[in-house]
Amino acid sequence: MAEEKDLMANLTSELRRGTLILSVLSQLSEAKYGYALVQSLEEKGVEIDPNTLYPLLRRLEKQGLLSSEWDVGESKPRKYYRRTFLGDDIYRELKAQWEQLSVNMERILREGSI
């Protein structure tokens, strides 16, 4: 039973992993700081661990999809991320891919329904 649970947890996290980048990109048309992003995703039912998100944000920045800026004006310094132009393009493409994927998946799953 415990093994089945582990397996399920593994498979679920694998399934979600592929959607993380798209979820993150979708939220960053306006600048947001890391934890605000965690919370806004959580409100929409997408859970992401901070220890996954923060490294991911850095990676996306390195790849040129996001840009960041430290805001030191407020009481504590915060790093704000937003999509770059390249990020916008990639997001559009990924979104189209996702829509196609979800249409196909729906059809496949309907055929294979138990």
Partner 1 sequence: MTDRDRELINRYVYEVTRRVPKEQRDEIELELRELIGDMLEGLTLDQVFAKLGDPAVFARKYREDKNYVISPEYYDNYVWVMKIVLICVWAGLFISMVVQCIIDYTNIFYETARFISGLMTGSVGAFGAVTLVFAFMERQKIKVELKKDKAWTPDMLNPIPAKKARISRGDCVASLVFIMIFACILIFVPQFIGACSTDGKEVTCISIFNMDRWGMILPVFLIALMAAFVDEIIRLVAGCYCRSVMLSSIIANGIQVILSALVLKVLPIWNPDFVFELELNLSESFHWKEQLINRWNADLVSDIILGIIIIASAIEVGLTVYRTLRYGRALGVR
- Mode of pairing for the β-strands spanning 66-71 and 78-83: antiparallel
Please give the span between the terminal C-alpha atoms of the chain, in angstroms, as a whole number: 22
> Which of residues 51 and 113 has its CB atom nearest to partner 1 in the complex?
51
Which residue in the set 11, 13, 40, 50 belongs to the binding site for partner 1 (CB under 8 A)?
A: 50
Query: What tokens does 44 get?
Result: 């929409």
Segments of the chain assigned E as strands: 32-33, 66-71, 78-83
Cα–Cα–Cα angle for 43, 93, 22, rounded to 5 degrees: 25
> Which of residues 58 and 88 has its CB atom nearest to partner 1 in the complex?
58
What is the residue whose two structure tokens read 């504590």?
76
Sketch the per residue contact string, 1 through 40, with partner 1: x for CB under 8 A, - otherwise. Answer: --------------------------------xxxx----
Which residue in the set 22, 27, 31, 58 belongs to the binding site for partner 1 (CB under 8 A)?
A: 58
User: What residue ranges bind partner 1 (CB under 8 A)?
Assistant: 33-36, 49-52, 54-55, 58-59, 70, 76-79
